[in-house]
Each structure stands twice: as C-alpha cells, then as structure tokens.
Amino acid sequence: MIDTAGTLCTAAKILKENGAVRVFATAPHALLNGDALNKIKNSCLEKVIVANTVPVKEKISKCDKIVEVSCAQLLAEGIKRVHDEKSISSLF
C-alpha cells in the first residue's frame, strides 16, 4: 500500500545509492495521501504500477510515473470460481 509514499521513495533512493540501475514499484492499493504525488514525481522511481482498488484516477493523471492496472478480470474470475465451487489457487 502506498499512503504518503515516504517509505517507498526512501527505499528507492537507497536502492539507487547501492547500485540499482532502475527502480520500479508495484502496489495493490494506492491511497496517495498528502504530498505523495510530488514525492513520487521527484523520486528516482521509474514507474509505479498500482491496481485500481482505490479510486485515484484523477490523482494519478497528474503523475506520469504512475500506471494503473485493472484487477476486474481477476476478481470476476475469482468470484465465478468460488460460486462454481472450483479452485482459485491457479489464479495466483
């Protein structure tokens, strides 16, 4: 989860200082509170990929480093399999 992005950006900075050539991040929940967008914009992170589990479309449109992916297909298939009493383990 990315709340204010402080920990994420600090971790990315440490990775770069220790030899990482490129730094990417992923998160299932991007709350992006406070100054999170500016922290990410000004960080060494190349891309931050987030799921659309929290409505932040308007926020992320202001930061070209953030890419949102949909989890709708995965959730729909999981619900279908549970309803049909089938395994969901292969989804993960």
Per-residue pLDDT of 9-64, as tens digits, reads 999 999 999 999 999 999 999 999 999 999 999 999 999 999 999 988 888 888 99
- C-alpha pair distances (Å), 1 with each of 7, 9, 65, 69, 83: 10, 13, 16, 15, 29
Domain 6-91 indexed as CATH 3.40.50.2020:
yes
pTM of the model: 0.83
Give the pLDDT of residue 59: 86
Task: Provide the token pair at 68.
Answer: 């949102």
Give the integer Cα–Cα distance in Å for 4 and 40. Answer: 9
Give the pLDDT of residue 22: 98
- What are the boundaries of each domain within the chain? 6-91
Q: Which of 1, 50, 10 is nearest to 59 (CA)?
A: 50
